[in-house]
Amino acid sequence: MNIKIALLGGDGIGPDVILQAVKCLQAVEETFNHTFSYTEALVGAIAIEKTGNPLPTETIEICKNADAILFGAIGDPKYDHNPEATIRPEQGLLQLRKELDLFTNIRPVQVFPTLIDRSPLRKEIIQGTNFTIYRELTGGIYFGEKKLSADGTVASDLCEYSEKEVSRIAHLAFKAAKSRRKKLTLVDKANVLESSRLWRKVVTKIGESYPEVHLDFMFVDNAAMQIILNPNQFDVILTENMFGDIISDESSVIGGSIGLLPSASIGAEHALFEPIHGSYPQAKDKDIANPIAAILSAAMLLEHFGLEEETRAVLKAVNKSLRKEVVTPDINPNSPYGTSHVGDFIANNIVDTEDQLNINNENIGLGKSTII
């Protein structure tokens, strides 16, 4: 299969982790005889620096012409600490989501059995966690009208949703639930917000066409608590843009590191794959960032194109790196391995699943004998 992939490394650790994901995709090409082509494009703070625009027109064109986009991370502390900045790196990603109409953001949350003891939460609570967040991505408070009074003392952000915006993602979430454990939880704040009441109405109605799926509702404040208290109660969570942003970061602690969680942003015509972690500027160029979330995002890309065996090969190689503790310091503070070594290990294990070679490979990293 030929797939045209736009590579948007972005800021901070983004380019580092995307490089590792590309190594893995190349390993998939080699092993399964595919041809992927890669076109790099600028986005975020780096794009502002080079062009004055966080999403240059050229980048939009490259993304529109690609079959899929692999995205690193966005953001720079320079802008975070400057409330006066009118051009911000994040605008690049938000505009891209809007421009490509990537209305559904899918964030799977799972616990890797090998890492269960590394989670800050107790094993009994998190064992078996496996849920997916369907976050609406192009509406709500992120994109509603923004106002700032002339004297700069009053500000507002409008949270607006239309029936159509709710219904298109709701169908995808119900379909996902149908193919999983058949439970859908709508997370909202319907006791306070009019927009949440619209969500409930529309989702309840759509639920009638999916009778096999059990639909329930949870207020977002309670959901924030339940995700930590009993994550096993969730199968598919459907929620609006801002709530989804917050609960997906929260959910990432279950697995022990935010550096493990991938995501897919899907529209009718385009698809973008990105780790859920941010740009982690402190780790830039230090070779310590965890590449697994980016590599798993590449696996979601493969899955999106129906390449199941290829997806499994990537997951298997990732599991092996965790099992053999070829991991970055966020997972094991004493680990001698860095971003690129972990990327190499996973890519090599996609190409060659022979155990002996892998032991050999590990020895190289440890500076031990490479003769087996």
Q: Does 310 bind Mn ion (CB under 5 A)?
A: no
Which residue shows structure tokens 């050229």? 58
221 carries an active-site annotation? yes
CA gap 352, 337 in Å, rounded: 20
For the segment 267-306, give every residue that binds ligand IPM (CB under 6 A). Answer: 276
What residue type is 275 in one-letter code?
A: P
Question: How many residues of this chain interact with ligand IPM, rule: CB under 6 A?
Answer: 7
In the set 142, 210, 280, 337, the catalytic residue is: 142
Q: Does 165 bind ligand IPM (CB under 6 A)?
A: no
Task: Report the residue closest to ligand IPM, judged by CB.
Answer: 90
Comparing CA positions, the residue from 294, 313, 262, 297 lying closest to residue 34 is: 313
Task: Report the residue closest to Mn ion, judged by CB.
Answer: 245
329 C-beta neighbours (distance < 10 Å), count = 16
Q: Which of 21, 93, 318, 350 binds ligand IPM (CB under 6 A)?
A: 93
CB of 65 to Mn ion, least distance (A): 27
CB of 2 to Mn ion, least distance (A): 32
Q: Does 100 bind ligand IPM (CB under 6 A)?
A: no
Environment class of residue 303 by beta-carbon count within 10 Å: exposed (0-12), middle (13-18) or buried (19+)? middle
Comparing CA positions, the residue from 229, 231, 151, 146 lying closest to residue 183 is: 231
Question: Binding mask 241-270 vs Mn ion (x if CB under 5 A, - otherwise)?
Answer: ----x-------------------------
> Residue 82 carries which DSSP code?
-
Environment class of residue 33 by beta-carbon count within 10 Å: exposed (0-12), middle (13-18) or buried (19+)? exposed
Q: What residues form DSSP beta bridges with 155?
A: 148
Nearer to Mn ion, 239 or 349 (CB): 239
> Residue 120 carries which DSSP code?
S
134 carries an active-site annotation? no
Residues annotated as catalytic (active site), given as ranges: 142, 189, 221, 245, 249
Residues lying near ligand IPM in the complex (CB under 6 A) are found at 74-75, 90, 93-94, 245, 276
